[in-house]
Amino acid sequence: MEEKKIEIEEIREGTTLICKLSGWLDPNTSPEFVARVDVEGVKSLVFDLQNVEYVFSAGIRAFLIFQRKMEAQGGTMKLVNVSDFIRSIFDYAGLAAFIE
């Protein structure tokens, strides 16, 4: 079985951090995702999910971790380019409010 992975491309514009994600957010990739994205000094965190194939509960937990970090430092988080399939996962988890 092919191992799934997550790729993260970060673009910083002042206090805005845009993270373009590709692949799967699952129990194997989510810890790396949380560890790699540094939100220190970020006021606006944007996750572009256009190329995300699937989000497991561990991925949802990762987004909740980032949401808490952003709230603690007075910033915001949003998810953009979310497919209908991924949106349905977030709707089910009660996280649709973060989707733009």
Tell me the pLDDT tens digit for each residue of 23-82.
999 999 999 999 999 999 999 999 999 999 999 999 999 999 999 999 999 999 999 999
Comparing 1 with 23, the larger pLDDT belongs to: 23
Copy the structure tokens of residue 24: 């799967």
Q: What is the pTM (predicted TM-score) of this model?
A: 0.93
Q: How many other C-beta atoms can be found within 10 angstroms of the C-beta atom of residue 6? A: 20
Examine the pLDDT at 5 and tell me if it is beyond 80. yes
Is the separation of the CB atoms in 42 and 74 below 8 Å?
no
Structure tokens at 53: 């194939």
Pairing of β 6-13 and β 16-25: antiparallel
Model confidence at 4, pLDDT cuts 50, 70, 90, reads confident
User: Which domains are assigned to the chain?
Assistant: 6-98 (3.30.750.24)
DSSP state of 81: S
What pLDDT, on the 0 to 100 scale, is given for residue 1? 60
